[in-house]
Structure 1
Amino acid sequence: MSEQSIARYKHIFDEILRMTDDGFIVVDTNGIVTDINDQYCDFLGKPKEEIVGYPIQKTISNSKMVDIVKRRYSEELALHKFQPGESKENDNNFLLVSRSCVCDDQDRVVAGVAQVKFRLQTLDSAKRLMSEYAELEFYKEEYHKAGGCRTNFDSIVGSTEAFLEKKRLGLKAARTDFPVLLTGETGTGKEVFARSIHNASSRADKPMVSINCAAIPNELLESELFGYVDGAFTGARKGGKPGKFQLANGGTLFLDEIGDMPLNMQAKILRALQEREVEPVGGSGPVQVDVRVISATRRNLPALIEAGEFREDLYYRLNVINIEMPPLRCRRADILELANFFLARLNQEFQRATVLSQEVKQCFASYQWPGNIRELDNVIKGAYATCDGFTIDMRDLPGKMSLARGTPMPVAGSGKQLSELMNDYEREIILAVLREKGGNCQRAAEELGIHRSALYKKLAKLGIDPAADCRCRKR
């Protein structure tokens, strides 16, 4: 090999020794140290000049490198404990070492080399890897939750003017970093709106992290939001875990059902928003974070403030931009558009061509939809699974929807008082449910959403005999 090639490999070797976090030491066949990198010198607390050119036992008295060279063997990740005073730190005096002899192309031993892994640096590397792995797994989970697609305002179904105005307001909110509070009944699409705001913002290339404040036990909420360090509590994951604030750093944090957050956590959330920092459970200091907060609730926050169940200062911190999501019954022109959207998605997934009957369309348009868009989606899925042919009919819908459409309204002008008209209407509904449930009062009560004892009281009040009336109807 030419001198130029030798010099080139020497430069490469020196750069590798400089870049690595590990320590390296090389000895000749007599155990004289010929090379050592700076990391190992720092650990030993000696300059290179006091090590290179001297027997290795002068620096590491219990070294096995001479034996490795003479007996021509190697070993991996063996535990080596230094003698007192031979390392810089007495409380960090052991490490893992891999040793081997080096042979030339004639199988003659020419040197011995050892690679050491420092305990503290190895632990730090493991913690970093675990943290990165936890973050990667979280993002994978969020991606699958979102269906692998980006939600935006153009993809949100709805063309009524009132709803279009909400979309315009959402786009305006996306141009700022101000906190947004989404209010409205459950199932109105608050999380879809939150994702659309995030994806239309300057933070779209950063993560949006969601947490449901009502779904996590109070004692776990702090660690979920702010994370924890290794050994913070019994059962804590080794290496710790970043919280939602840290995972959302640079992006958006979506606090769903913020109205259900306990008071003690409200104070910590307020501080995190004000100071732009969080302190992990068991941590020794705060961690800086940069997040845009979007929160949502189905509850009346001003009423909760009056009752002392929600902090007024947090409310004003979150409610910089308020978007109140309209219930589905207030945007009836969108009902069939949404229904056809959900149905088309199912047809594409299952390669079918199912449609809604005209009667079902009329039922959808007149139904009150107390569960809003989520209820509509679930009704479509349930009917899709149970319909026999390629058309969803009334018999495929839940019983309460058939009743709402099929039960005759009391006729005004019949000479009856309002209370009598209401009793007639209630009697027809209860009888219809009883017929559907075969006279089973327990199942009828569950369908009506009342306790069985309350149903018995209504039966007595309205003069209904479940067995007799259901039998007569069948005949």
Structure 2
Amino acid sequence: MAGDSAESERYKYIFNEVLKITDDGFIVVDKNGVVTDINDQYCDFLGKPKSEIVGYPIKKTIKNSKMPDIVTNLYSEELALHKYVSGDTKENDNTFVLVSRSCVYNDQGEVVAGVAQVKFRLQALASAKRMMNEYAELEFYREEYRKSTENAYTFDSIVGGSECFVEKKRAGIKAAQTDFAVLLTGETGTGKEVFARAIHNASSRKDKPMVSINCAAIPAELLESELFGYDEGAFTGAKKGGKKGKFQLANSGTIFLDEIGDMPLCMQAKILRVLQEEEVEPLGGSGPEKVDVRVIAATRKDLNKMIETGEFREDLYYRLNVVNIELPPLRQRREDILDLAKYFLAKLNRQYNQSIVLSGDVKRCFYNYPWPGNVRELNNVIMGAYAICDRLSIDLTDLPAKMAARQRSGQAVHGGKKLSDLVDDYERQLIRQILREKNNNCRLAAEEMGIHRSALYKKIAKLKIKNCV
């Protein structure tokens, strides 16, 4: 017996010495999940003294510990990835570690304890890095899926029936059938990102991610790491395990480079190389990684002028401009204005369970206004008016002062047209609108306008309104 006791004492000293010299963390619990031992390294990692851990249930210290389950259900794990609950570690940075856990049995096969080994130095670094990257990628895809289901833009769902806009939608549908690069141009607020999403959703890559990045919104010094990612230790403050760039996240899908005209020249050269070689090289990485992405770019700027002034690379322009679709400003598709307004208003009415409509004066104001901010401005004006109107309809007094004053003073946007032409344009647009609302029923449309049906037929013929009856 004395020999057994001496041998046990010997192993105790050996075990304690191992716990001291190891880089790993060790923790031991009894069969009830109460901590019986923990080494100093693990205490330091958790930011708590041993006296606050030993003798207490392990879940008091590590809220999502699996050790009680290990000793209850009698199993073990090797190199499992564990993420601590915020506040359970000293650094409070949601640290990932690799953990091996197991039950301890006596000679009779009874569970007497559970032990866990936590690898801070990550000897299995490649495995841990891969799992962390996969976790980050999964979180990214989950967020992108949420966005795509909320805004599942298709060419059928994009509002606009004017001839010039329908032509652009046809071009987009054709472009979607290929993997060619697409360059979307046009003034700010014309809906270039919505159009890009519709192209992606109509393509063979629709079940893969579409990743967007606004080249004007990210500082030049951060743009490279955002686009191409980085490996752990690439620079001071780099995330543990590194970070995937937008190109890697878009692999097999589509990347949307918004405001490409604002990209610095040095980055333009690197984007060109990605398009030519179909590979990216993360910052601090050991080599290039192959990527398969469809590129859609957009800009409000005149890239041809920028090429002349040396602000944009000509070779990159030709790589991006395989298919060019220039989206028209709202003032060139006036017959779509009220349809868009109706769409935005219906969306707000559904959200707030209201039945607010636009007054006749507001409709005329919208039709005549030049909309320098295009569709985005129209949406913002409607939201602002919706927020302050206190009746069942939005009136001129609810609009921005400059718009209301313009309408009251009778300043119409005419583009050189005669008054008679302006009247015809307005009447044509109004008749089309009412016919659409009445499902092309001329009798109901005539009643709505307060005229005889035969008079409506004469107006349709005079104004050359097609595809309405």
Q: Compute the displacement of 1:147 (Å).
A: 6.0
Q: Which runs of 5 or more residues in structure 2 are unaligned?
A: 1-6, 20-29, 43-97, 413-469
Distance in 2 between residues matched to 1:224 and 1:309, nearest whole Å: 22
- Structure 2 counterpart SS, 1:197: helix
AA aligned to 1:127 is K
**8 Å contact from structure 2 (residues 280, 288) kept in 1:** yes
Q: Compute the displacement of 1:107 (Å).
A: 4.8
Aligned residue in 2 for 1:243: 245
- Structure 2 counterpart SS, 1:154: coil
AA aligned to 1:209 is V
**8 Å contact from structure 1 (residues 188, 372) kept in 2:** yes
> After superposition, what is the alpha-carbon deviation per residue over 1:193-226, rounded to whole angstroms, capped at 9, x for unaligned?
0000001100011000000000000000000000
Aligned residue in 1 for 2:199: 197
Query: Based on CA coordinates, which of the two structures has the bigger radius of gyration?
Result: 1
> After superposition, what is the alpha-carbon deviation per residue over 1:113-141, rounded to whole angstroms, capped at 9, x for unaligned?
98867754543333223222322332344
Answer with 99-108 or 355-364: which moved more.
Answer: 99-108
Distance in 1 between residues matched to 2:100 and 2:108, nearest whole Å: 26
2:372 to 370, 373, 376: 370
AA aligned to 1:327 is P
**8 Å contact from structure 2 (residues 362, 395) kept in 1:** yes
Aligned residue in 2 for 1:257: 259
AA aligned to 1:310 is F
- Structure 1 counterpart SS, 2:156: helix
- Structure 1 counterpart SS, 2:134: helix
Q: How does 1:5-404 map to 2 (within 5 A)?
A: 101-103=104-106, 107=110, 120-146=122-148, 148-404=150-406
Alpha-carbon distance change, 124 to 408 in structure 1, aligned in 2, over 3 angstroms: same
AA aligned to 1:335 is I
**8 Å contact from structure 2 (residues 253, 293) kept in 1:** yes
Distance in 2 between residues matched to 1:201 and 1:245, nearest whole Å: 18
Q: Compute the displacement of 1:76 (Å).
A: 7.4
Q: How does 1:374-453 map to 2 (within 5 A)?
A: 374-407=376-409
AA aligned to 1:363 is C
Q: Which runs of 5 or more residues in structure 1 are unaligned?
A: 1-30, 32-55, 65-70, 81-94, 411-475
Task: Provide TM-score, normalisation by structure 1.
Answer: 0.64
Distance in 2 between residues matched to 1:343 and 1:157, nearest whole Å: 13
Count of residue correspondences: 337
Distance in 2 between residues matched to 1:333 and 1:212, nearest whole Å: 31
- Structure 2 counterpart SS, 1:155: coil
Alpha-carbon distance change, 381 to 146 in structure 1, aligned in 2, over 3 angstroms: farther
AA aligned to 2:232 is D
> After superposition, what is the alpha-carbon deviation per residue over 1:390-439, rounded to whole angstroms, capped at 9, x for unaligned?
100000000111122122569xxxxxxxxxxxxxxxxxxxxxxxxxxxxx
Distance in 2 between residues matched to 1:275 and 1:361, nearest whole Å: 52
Percentage of matched positions with identical amino acids: 64
> After superposition, what is the alpha-carbon deviation per residue over 1:158-197, rounded to whole angstroms, capped at 9, x for unaligned?
0011111111110100000000000000000100000000
AA aligned to 2:356 is T
Alpha-carbon distance change, 100 to 78 in structure 1, aligned in 2, over 3 angstroms: farther
Answer with 243-252 or 396-405: which moved more.
Answer: 396-405
Distance in 1 between residues matched to 2:153 and 2:338, nearest whole Å: 21
- Structure 2 counterpart SS, 1:249: coil
AA aligned to 2:230 is Y
Distance in 2 between residues matched to 1:171 and 1:142, nearest whole Å: 23
- Structure 2 counterpart SS, 1:176: coil
- Structure 2 counterpart SS, 1:162: helix
Distance in 1 between residues matched to 2:253 and 2:384, nearest whole Å: 36
> After superposition, what is the alpha-carbon deviation per residue over 1:89-132, rounded to whole angstroms, capped at 9, x for unaligned?
xxxxxx987676413768599xx998867754543333223222
- Structure 2 counterpart SS, 1:182: strand
Distance in 2 between residues matched to 1:408 and 1:161, nearest whole Å: 28
Alpha-carbon distance change, 409 to 249 in structure 1, aligned in 2, over 3 angstroms: closer
Q: Compute the displacement of 1:151 (Å).
A: 1.0
Alpha-carbon distance change, 258 to 116 in structure 1, aligned in 2, over 3 angstroms: same
Distance in 1 between residues matched to 2:141 and 2:191, nearest whole Å: 22
Alpha-carbon distance change, 99 to 152 in structure 1, aligned in 2, over 3 angstroms: closer
Task: Provide TM-score, normalisation by structure 2.
Answer: 0.65
Alpha-carbon distance change, 408 to 362 in structure 1, aligned in 2, over 3 angstroms: closer
Give me the CA root mean square deviation: 3.5
- Structure 1 counterpart SS, 2:105: strand
Alpha-carbon distance change, 302 to 345 in structure 1, aligned in 2, over 3 angstroms: same
> After superposition, what is the alpha-carbon deviation per residue over 1:294-316, rounded to whole angstroms, capped at 9, x for unaligned?
00000000000000000000000
**8 Å contact from structure 1 (residues 78, 98) kept in 2:** no
